[in-house]
């Protein structure tokens, strides 16, 4: 089990909260605030889990789904969690099509995210 996480989130407060929480739980944590940065990190090392926000930056897009696609290309065994405050049935269908393991709606308690990660890593 790889205890290394990549957190892809453009909201600084959420990014730092996730980073600190999981470092305190014994994970090595890398962070990225944009898709290109995440893809660069993915190409250099393996992760047990990638947590990606659906929307990155000021756009109304779905860059988090692009991050998931990059994970599937670079490291198919890596588990993925997509976080969104903008969920819809279309987003959920596309997330499943791209191989997202878990879609969580914001806000989520850090302990709930940790529980999901523990389950994902236990199953790998």
| Chain segment 28-38, per-residue pLDDT in tens | 999 999 999 99
pLDDT top residue among 124 and 14: 14
Domain count, the chain: 1
Give pLDDT, residue 31: 98
Neighbours of 101 (CB within 10 A): 20
CATH code of the domain covering residue 8: 3.40.50.2300
Q: What is the mean pLDDT of the chain?
A: 92
Please check whether residue 92 lies inside any domain of the structure: no
- Residue 47 maps to a domain: yes
User: Is 103 part of a structural domain of the chain?
Assistant: yes
pLDDT attached to residue 124: 58
HEC letters along 20-49: HHHHHCCCEEEEECCHHHHHHHHHHCCCCE
pLDDT tens per residue across span 12-70:
999 999 999 999 999 999 999 999 999 999 999 999 999 999 998 766 778 999 999 99
pLDDT of residue 123: 80
pLDDT of residue 121: 94
Helical residues (DSSP H) of 1-124, grouped into ranges: 12-24, 35-44, 63-74, 89-97, 110-122
Residue 115 lies in a domain: no
pLDDT, tens digit, 9 for 90 and up, residues 62-117: 899 999 999 999 999 999 999 998 778 888 999 999 999 999 998 999 999 999 99
Residue 6 phi, psi (nearest 5): -115, 125
At 61 the pLDDT is 77
pLDDT at 35 (0 to 100): 92
* Enclosing domain of residue 57: 1-16+24-83+97-108
Q: Which two tokens stand for residue 81?
A: 């969690």
């Amino acid at each position: 089990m790889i205890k290394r996480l990549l957190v892809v989130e453009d909201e600084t407060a959420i990014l730092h909260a996730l980073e600190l929480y999981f470092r305190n739980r014994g994970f090595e944590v890398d962070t990225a605030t944009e898709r290109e940065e995440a893809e660069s990190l993915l190409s250099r090392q393996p992760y047990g889990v990638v947590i990606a926000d659906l929307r990155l930056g000021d756009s109304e897009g779905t860059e988090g789904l692009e991050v998931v696609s990059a994970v599937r290309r670079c490291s198919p065994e890596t588990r993925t969690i997509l976080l969104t405050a903008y969920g819809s049935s279309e987003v959920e269908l596309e997330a499943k099509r791209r191989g997202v393991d878990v879609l969580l709606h914001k806000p989520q308690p850090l302990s709930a995210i940790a529980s999901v990660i523990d389950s994902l890593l236990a199953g790998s």
